[in-house]
Amino acid sequence: MTAARTTRLDQGWSWKQRNATICDSVLDELKLPNDGCIQAGWKEAQAFPSEIHVELLKAGLISDPYLGFNEHKVQWIGETEWLYKCTFPFTADSAHQHAILEFEGLDTVCDVYLNGKLILSTDNQFRTYSYPISLFDNANTLKDTNTLLLHFKSAKILAKAEEAKYGKVRAGSTNLGDPSRVYVRKAQYDWRWDWGPELMTVGPYRPIKLKTYSVCISEMHTRASVSFDESGTPSPVLKVDVGLDGTPSPELAQALGVVLKDSVGKEIRRAQMPLHDVSSTTSMVRDAVSWDLRSEDLKLWWPVGYGQQNLYNVEVHLVGPNGQVIDTQVKRVGFRSVELVQEQLAEADQYGTGTTFLFEVNGVRIFAGGSNWIPADNFLTTITEERYRAWLTLLRDGNQNMVRVWGGGIYEPDVFYDICDELGILAWQDFQFACGVYPAHDEFVKSVTKEAEDNVKRLRHHPSLALFCGNNEDYQMILQWGDTKELPARVLYEKVFPEIVATLTDPPIPYHRGSPYGGKGWDTADPTVGDVHQWNVWGGKELPYQDYDKLGGRFVSEFGIPSMPDMRTVAHWMDGADETEWYSQSTLMAQHTKAGSFERRFAIVMNENFRLTSDLETYVYNTQLMQSEAVGYAYQSWRRAWRGRGKEYTSGVLVWQLNDCWPVTSWAIVDYFLRPKPIYFTIARHLAPIGVGISRTVIQNRANDRPRQFYEFGAIQSHDAKIDIWGTNSTLKPRSVKLELSFHDLKSSWTHSETHDVELLPNQSTELLSMPCPGPPRDGAQPPSGDPLWATSYSVVVSARLVGEDGRVLARFADWPQPYRYLAVPDPRLKVGVDGEKVVLSVERPVKGLWLSVEGEGPEVSWSDNALDVVPGDPQTIVAKGLGNRKLKVAYLGKEKASVI
């Protein structure tokens, strides 16, 4: 008996553009001479899996679409037909009666020919397609040498044809691609988005495999669950279902063996089940094992910050005669429970009562702080495991515990979720629908149903998977437009998807029909129910970011403010452009800023808060500081609303967005080249296990519509200011700490300090202090506003830190008077000490937004912290891994152009 054999067909591939004027038949193209012409000759594929843009780029036939205006020069690629082919040998094995060709991902519209016969026609990028082959059927078998031909057609052209057939619908705004995109099951961001280019990719972007067997394991469903008794003692259980394919007769397949091992390979339990009654060609063995593992001292899987990420391997062996292993599958699991808790709140908050929207893992309610994820490149085949790990490690190291895989991209490959499992990152997984009125005709629903089944089965065993969500903003778009009454795809979001998730996941994975979704009549903006996307600061109403604390909800799954990336990233896309293009409003800057109405929206938020500048580097710094201040204020305000049992008013905050898919100005907190922006570090501080926050409310002489944190010196006069200070504690134990406050006047040498003993309650925020903001004495000085009741606190920086019983500083935060455009920032008289990779920073006057970088070429420096507010008497030590002998550069508010120190 010969074991099943799987071969990856990843060698010997070539590609070409199809020229229909030369040949009527696609198969005739195989007979054309290799004359080196792109229309007529085949070129060797440089990698497999493959995408045609990447092949063209490597062959020197197109310019890099990520540089300059080159995006516009490659639009023809998405309107063209492309061919891939390979030949592969096959040696028949008399013990193998069956074979399957498996295509894990074809992008997107593709006819597949095997030895000149059409065997598949695909139109869904997200499905796994399989083609069964009988090895003893002369009309349908493999030969000694076989040719596989893939004929890719234009998804763009298909979308327009489907639109003509079914009607034009609304889908997003003008910067979210052509609305016809909704008709084709292809990554929607390929059509263009408000952070990404229009690049209609084509190709076999995931592996193609050939498996031969007489009987094999076709499916393996590991059901690792845990329940808790009244004392909180866990009871882990493992059940395994096994699907068999082929001819599972007793002579061929005699038993199933199941082995559970820990992460270092130590065997925990083993069992073997005879296969007496399995004889059908396709069989599912339910509960091949059902193990109560209480006695095995198994350790639970926890999200990062709440415990260890304990993982176990489950091996299933198909055993034939004489104990020979015929086939094996392995899955890695973690024992954990996850629930989406939506229950009535005990008390009302500023929005009313309503219900919670929180995640409970292993019986512990967690505050979910994290980011939204878009595909990390427009060319998916270029995203290596190392890049995935680097992105997700940045997220984890930034104290984030959740990532939302957004619905306009892809279902990420297995490695993405494997890394989430290892790092303890909870994954919110959207089904791939975004910002549109999707159809629901029979063929579409049938294809999407299979897509959903494929991906739920593929992902369900991951302990990191916390939620399946039906779509991104489809309900919201209907309400936003007001002129569209129907949403045909409701049948998917409200029937097909929840039924698939309920049927195929055990233990059950929570399902949420859309993001955002919650209130009555699809009210996607109701802050008391479900989740919300808060875009009234950047887009829509353009409210001041200082109002974020009034714009939250039970779970904020999207919000954000864009900024420009690192100057090196800007230089990359500028690609040596003339110096006349190096200004913030140039055409090249607009080419790499896709956000709708970005000129007007940037102008509003920048002009409200910062001084105008014509210097590009200063402007770049100011956009980054603005993003950091705005998004940071939202994080600290909404985490403050996690107030304990029955008062979980905000249970999660996911910024839009973690990453970029190309070099661009966007909402990303880390740019395309994995260079963190200041906001990355600000979020990390707000999501640290122990945190402290300050809010300043300026008391003014009349009601007004200005931000409450602003000092005004026009018709509106400032009379005083109140500060509120709170602490956050995500650990499950109370902490006794010292709250140390210091006050520094920017216009004089006046300072003040005080200390309070406080206790931080476990797994919630704690209000610590509310007091008038002190300021220097008037001493006959004239008020800047002319108002005799003026407050001197208008130039006072308030700094708070929490100090543990061992004297270690656990958290810091500094609140500066606003708006920053009014401030005359003094020279901080910054002192920097460098000892190897340790950098010690101290100042004589407060400094805002201190940004560290390095001069010269070399590997990226990994900073333990950055974008710092430093005050006198509180030096900070930063670790700069990879600093080497390079010189430090600094920039800060008032000195925005980086200089060597």
100: domain CATH number is: 2.60.120.260
In terms of domains, do 195 and 48 share one?
A: yes
CB 605 within 8 A of CB 538: yes
pLDDT given for residue 39 in this prediction? 45
**How confident is the model at residue 785, as a pLDDT?**
67
The SS3 of residue 779 is coil
Using alpha carbons, select from 81, 83, 82, 88 the residue that is nearest to residue 10.
88
| Three-class DSSP category at 449 | helix
pLDDT tens per residue across span 113-129 = 999 999 999 999 999 99
CA–CA separation, 854 and 566 (whole Å):
12
Of 622, 92, 669, 79, residue with least CA distance to 372: 669
Determine whether 570 is exposed, middle or buried from the number of CB atoms within 10 Å of its CB (0-12, 13-18, 19+): buried
Residue 377 lies in a domain: yes
Q: Rounded to whole angstroms, how far apart are CA atoms 547 and 545?
A: 5
Q: How confident is the model at residue 540 (pLDDT cuts 50, 70, 90)?
A: confident
Domain identity same for 871 and 898: yes
pLDDT attached to residue 428 = 98
* Cα–Cα distance for residue pair 370/404, rounded to 1 Å: 8
For residues 233 and 185, state if they share a domain.
no
Q: CB–CB of 63/575 below 8 Å?
A: no
441-458 mean pLDDT: 98
The size of the chain, in residues, is 901
Residues 6+ apart with CB under 8 A from 534: 548, 551, 552, 553, 556, 558, 559, 634
Q: Where does the pLDDT of residue 83 fall: very low under 50, low under 70, confident under 90, or very high at 90 and above?
A: very high
Domain assignment present for residue 831? The answer is yes
308: pLDDT strictly greater than 60: yes
Does residue 466 lie in a domain region?
no
E strand or H helix that includes residue 850? strand 847-854
Other CB atoms within a 10 A radius of the CB of residue 383 amount to 18
CA distance 839 to 846: 18
Across the chain, what does the average pLDDT equal? Answer: 94
What was the pLDDT predicted at 704?
75
Identify whether 441 is part of a domain.
no
Tell me the catalytic residues. 473
Confidence of residue 38 (pLDDT cuts 50, 70, 90): very low
In this structure, the answer to whether residues 154 and 281 fall within a common structural domain is no
Domain shared by 113 and 185, yes or no:
yes
Positive or negative: CA dihedral 558, 562, 567, 571: positive
pLDDT value, residue 175: 84
Lowest mean pLDDT among 18-22, 616-620, 840-844: 18-22
Instruction: Tell me which of 627, 654, 686 is where a domain ends.
Output: 686
Burial zone of 59 (CB within 10 Å; 0-12 exposed, 13-18 middle, 19+ buried): middle
> In the structure, what pLDDT confidence band is assigned to residue 37 with cuts at 50, 70 and 90?
very low
Do 196 and 231 lie in one domain? The reply is no
Are 126 and 35 in a shared domain? yes
Last residue of a domain, one of 333, 366, 401: 333
Give the residue-averaged pLDDT of 408-436: 98
Q: For the CA atoms of 639, 644, 645, 646, what is the dihedral angle to 10 degrees?
A: -70
| Higher pLDDT pick, 901 / 513 | 513
Same-domain check for residues 303 and 267: yes
Q: Which two tokens stand for residue 491?
A: 């049948």
Span 235-259, pLDDT tens digits: 999 999 999 998 777 778 889 999 9
* Residues 366, 240 within the same domain: no
> Do the bridges between strand 511-512 and strand 465-469 make them parallel or antiparallel, or are there none, so unpaired?
parallel
CATH of the domain at 409: 3.20.20.80
With contact defined as beta carbons under 8 Å apart, do 571 and 617 qualify? no
Q: Which of 27, 25, 379, 5 is nearest to 213 (CA)?
A: 5
- Mean pLDDT (whole number) for 291-303: 93
Please give the Cα distance from 728 to 693 (Å, whole number): 8
Q: How far apart are CA 347 and CA 341, in angstroms?
A: 16
CA distance 66 to 490: 37
Residue 846 lies in a domain: yes
Percent helix, strand, coil in the chain, to 5, is 20, 35, 45
Task: Give the chain's domain count.
Answer: 4
- Residue 46: pLDDT above 60? yes
Upper half-sphere CA count for residue 272 (Cβ side, 13 Å): 10
Are 366 and 306 spatial neighbours (Cβ–Cβ below 8 Å)?
yes
Collect all residues with Cβ–Cβ distance below 8 Å to 786 and sequence separation of at least 6.
none
Q: Do the beta carbons of residue 428 and residue 557 sit within 8 Å?
A: yes
Among 863, 855, 861, residue whose Cα is nearest residue 879: 863
Q: Are 813 and 684 in contact (CB under 8 A)?
A: no
Q: How far apart are CA 309 and CA 688, in angstroms?
A: 19
Question: What local confidence, expressed as pLDDT, does residue 232 receive?
Answer: 87
| Beta strands 652-655; 368-373: pairing state | parallel
User: Are both 329 and 356 inside the same structural domain?
Assistant: no
Question: Do residues 276 and 368 share a domain?
Answer: no
- What per-residue confidence (pLDDT) applies to 268? 96
Note the pLDDT tens digit of each residue in 7-30. Answer: 999 999 999 999 877 777 888 777
Put residue 399 in one of left, alpha, beta given phi > 0 → left and psi -120 to 50 → alpha.
left
Same domain (yes/no): 537, 634: yes
Please count the other Cβ atoms lying within 10 Å of the Cβ belonging to residue 111. 15
Q: Provide the pLDDT for residue 19.
A: 83
Residue range of the domain that includes 11: 5-211
Q: Which among 169, 191, 211 is the end of a domain?
A: 211
In a domain, 507, yes or no: no
pLDDT of residue 28: 79
* DSSP string for 730-778: -SSS-EEEEEEEEEEESSSS-EEEEEEEEEEPTTEEEEEEEEEPP----
pLDDT number for residue 29: 75
Residue 769 resides in a domain: no
CATH number at residue 309: 2.60.40.10
Q: Is the pLDDT of residue 512 over 70?
A: yes
H helical segments located in 125-197: 155-166
Q: Tens digits of per-residue pLDDT, 581-599?
A: 999 999 999 999 999 899 9
- Give the pLDDT confidence score for residue 281 in this predicted structure: 52
Q: Which two tokens stand for residue 793?
A: 């606190």
- Indicate whether 503 belongs to any domain: no
Among 73, 50, 51, CA closest to 62 = 73
Residues 685-701 pLDDT 10s? 999 999 999 999 999 88
Q: Would you state the pLDDT for residue 36?
A: 44
- Is the CB of residue 73 less than 8 Å from the CB of residue 151? no
Cα(38)–Cα(62) distance, rounded to whole angstroms? 12
DSSP structure class, residue 301: B
3-state secondary structure of 755: strand
